[in-house]
Structure 1
Amino acid sequence: MWRNRSRTAITTSAVFFAILLAVVTSSFQVGVFDNLIKNVVGFYNGYVQVHKMGFWDEQILDNVFENKNSVQNKILSNENIESIAPRLESFALVATDSLTKGCLVVGIAPARENEITKLKSKIISGSYLKDDDPDILISEGLADRMRVKLYDTIVLLGQGYHGAMATGKYRIKGMLKFGSPELNKQSLYLNLPEAQSMFGAQNKLTSYVLNLKSTKTMDETVVSLRNLLDDDYEVMTWEEMMPDVSQHIKTDNASMYIIFFLLYILVCFGIFGTLLMMMVERKYELGMLVAIGMKKIKLSTLLILESLFTVITGCLAGILVSLPVVYYLKWHPIRFTGDFAKTYQEFGFEPIFPASTDSSIFIQQGLIVLILGLVLSLYPVLKVFRLNPIESLKK
């Protein structure tokens, strides 16, 4: 009896460690993938953007379109569109008494922009814009370069719509910090009406940034919008606008599948090794049972039920133990440093390795390991049907 308990404990432990590894690894994969996508959306671009046809290839103020309620209503008629943020984007020269630098100027509707890119959460000092504010938000790197502080005044000089002179004098209301070094050293935000007035582009926009209810149907949503809108507009996903970032995410995802493949091989060998050892140790016992008249079909059923019990016990125990581990790694993710962190920051991602607590991960990995355990439990069944009682009883 002690031997039976020992064998069961060994098999259960193998499944337990298998499911623990599978759940934690899968949580990391989903967590990292979700984090990358979230950073892309919160980074700047959103999931989908609508421009005037040709704007993305030649991003100048002459390629703007009129802000029409009818167009917005068409876009919002798609069930997967959650919100729209209008923008007017251009470049200008920011100047103080003694310094000048080129910067990205973005006119936004503050509340609607925050719904999509969570711009308000990037405020490190000062306060966020209100709809009637004549002030600006400036990125931390640009402020350092221009040697300006909160509530200082800067001047913007540039070329407006159809070659008009664009000038403006604004007070700094808040400072932003982005994960992307490029955005952090050149970004400046102001209210959309202020930007339209400065650039002489009244009621003109360069883009609609769209937020989706479900990203799983993003491609179908884009196709629907392209059919819905006129040929004067182009609809682009973040993958089309940022192909280098998309390729980086796909490469990371593919590498995780390779890790999973190796992990499942280790899981199979771990479970099979314990089953193999169990059959070798129980050879005499099984031979005795068959010799005294127990049918092999009943003995096989007994072994399958035993394997089923140990595998389910191991899966449940592994999931229960992995829950606090995964939750801890979600709220306290592994943070990269050094060159690896710089690489992530160059893509605009926060250099962390988080986990995900999505319930489907635990269910999916539990089912996979359960199926692997049950498939491997066919080995004892096969050995029973090929068992020779006389040879088994020989020591």
Structure 2
Amino acid sequence: MASVVFAVLLAILLNSIKEGVLYKLQENVVTFYTGAVQIHQNGYWEDQRLDNSFAQSDSLFELAKAHPDVNAVVPRLETFVLAASEKHTRGCMVVGIDPQTEPLVTSLDQKIVQGSYLENNDQGILLSEGLAEYLKLGVNDTVVLLGQGYHGVSATGKYAIRGLIKFASPELNKRMAYLPMHSAQNLFGAENRFTALVLDLTSVVKAEKVEEELALTLEGQYEVMNWKTLLPELNQVLEGERAENVIFLMVLYLLISFGIFGTILMMIVERQYEFGILVAIGMRKLKLSRMVIFENVMISVIGAIIGTVLSVPVVGYFYRYPIRITGKLEEAYRNFGFEPIFYFSIEPRIFYSQTIVVLSIALILSIYPLIKIMNIKPVESMRQ
């Protein structure tokens, strides 16, 4: 029983930390830029041009905000342009944002490494650190943007750099520029138009549910996409990690199975004389089998329940006080944009699933004593 207790406790702890770390990874990557759910004009994701933008709609804003799992609706106007300094040029993505609401999704104001964040009526621009370094520009320098606007209009403008942003993603760090929404709309001739509405959710795990419900509500007028479609590579990584976790748990359950089977085997061998006498004096083999199976199941179930009960305060403690990484490893985590913390998950399924699995193992292994007892020969058993 003790072996089952510790096996279940270990399985729950490892499952909890694995799910907690994966959830935080998912949340961190999603909040780099894309957000959990986005709303676009139909066809925009396949052909990301300003011509596929949509007009500002108060009713769409209100409908999205009305969903109980949506905290905020963040508008964006996105397109690619050529950024130029006196001697250098590089293609980059310009994002028109609402400086007040954008940090709700991406914490953009916390990524400033030089200069200051944008104000609502600002005429300046934010550049990613890698892009500014390539262009040989710094805070208060001027960058020129050259591109094509809505319906082919010429888009040219020069902006003072208010601040530099550092992204953990090298790709984002090389190509991002942010303008206040009014400046971006003026530059591209796209007055009162957006390319996307990014939804800030109460939880990233609710993204699929929100997508399905909003898609039904909007009745096909707009395309609604969750992060799994927006970031398929991240989804593949998470699925791969969860598959590895399943393999590890299978090995652990295999060890539990050997522990239970060893106990069953020892019990059968040591009680051969007892079983032989019981059968000899008239006890039915089927009734004897039921008794042994019941003993085995009770030991396993009680061990699993005790292990689950003991795991609740342990997991609860680490959920409230997660494990913090220190030293050089902490610095490495922060450089990649991740919190140097091992989080634990308290999803109910992590707890009750272990009891179910161990009970199933015990029931399957109970086939062995059933076969042995049904084939027992009283005289031979009493001689052992």
TM-score, normalised to structure 1's length?
0.76
Alpha carbons of 1:142 and 1:334: their partners in 2 closer, same or farther (altered >3 Å)? Answer: same
Q: Per the alignment, in what secondary structure is the counterpart of residue 79 of structure 2?
A: strand
Instruction: Please tell me whether the aligned partners of residues 141 and 185 of structure 1 are also in contact (alpha carbons under 8 angstroms).
Output: yes
Deviates more, 1:85-94 or 1:256-265: 256-265
- Tell whether 2:131 aligns with 1:165: no
Alpha carbons of 1:293 and 1:58: their partners in 2 closer, same or farther (altered >3 Å)? Answer: closer
**One-letter code aligned to 2:140:** D
Q: Which of 294, 310, 317 matches 1:320?
A: 310
Aligned to 2:35: 46
1:294 to partner: Cα distance: 7.2
Deviates more, 1:302-311 or 1:181-190: 302-311
Alpha carbons of 1:350 and 1:165: their partners in 2 closer, same or farther (altered >3 Å)? Answer: same
Aligned equivalents of 1:325, 1:105: Cα separation in 2: 44
Aligned to 1:390: 379
Deviates more, 1:135-144 or 1:61-70: 135-144
Deviates more, 1:111-120 or 1:188-197: 111-120
- Tell whether 2:103 aligns with 1:114: yes
Instruction: Please tell me whether the aligned partners of residues 86 and 207 of structure 1 are also in contact (alpha carbons under 8 angstroms).
Output: yes
Q: Per the alignment, in what secondary structure is the counterpart of residue 183 of structure 1?
A: helix
1:223-234 pair list within 5 angstroms: 223-227=215-219, 230=221, 233-234=222-223
Aligned to 1:136: 125
Aligned equivalents of 2:140, 2:241: Cα separation in 1: 43
The aligned length equals 371
Q: Per the alignment, in what secondary structure is the counterpart of residue 345 of structure 2?
A: coil
1:207-286 pair list within 5 angstroms: 207-213=196-202, 214-227=206-219, 230=221, 233-286=222-275
**One-letter code aligned to 2:57:** K
Instruction: Please tell me whether the aligned partners of residues 167 and 173 of structure 2 are also in contact (alpha carbons under 8 angstroms).
Output: yes
Gaps of 5+ in 1: 1-11
- Tell whether 2:54 aligns with 1:65: yes
Deviates more, 1:363-372 or 1:299-308: 299-308
1:361 to partner: Cα distance: 0.8
Alpha carbons of 1:370 and 1:113: their partners in 2 closer, same or farther (altered >3 Å)? Answer: farther
Deviates more, 1:42-51 or 1:311-320: 311-320
Aligned equivalents of 1:219, 1:82: Cα separation in 2: 14
Instruction: Please tell me whether the aligned partners of residues 144 and 158 of structure 2 are also in contact (alpha carbons under 8 angstroms).
Output: yes
**One-letter code aligned to 1:19:** V
RMSD: 3.9
1:189 to partner: Cα distance: 1.9
- Tell whether 2:43 aligns with 1:15: no
Aligned to 1:304: 294
Q: Which of 191, 194, 198 matches 1:205?
A: 194
Aligned equivalents of 1:255, 1:226: Cα separation in 2: 38
Q: Per the alignment, in what secondary structure is the counterpart of residue 199 of structure 2?
A: strand
Q: Percent identity?
A: 39
Aligned equivalents of 1:44, 1:209: Cα separation in 2: 10
**One-letter code aligned to 1:165:** A
Aligned equivalents of 1:298, 1:334: Cα separation in 2: 58
Instruction: Please tell me whether the aligned partners of residues 122 and 176 of structure 1 are also in contact (alpha carbons under 8 angstroms).
Output: yes
Aligned equivalents of 2:342, 2:109: Cα separation in 1: 24
Aligned to 1:91: 80
Aligned to 1:154: 142
Instruction: Please tell me whether the aligned partners of residues 109 and 191 of structure 1 are also in contact (alpha carbons under 8 angstroms).
Output: yes
Aligned to 2:323: 331
TM-score, normalised to structure 2's length?
0.78
Aligned equivalents of 1:322, 1:77: Cα separation in 2: 36
**One-letter code aligned to 2:310:** L
1:186 to partner: Cα distance: 1.3
Aligned to 2:349: 360
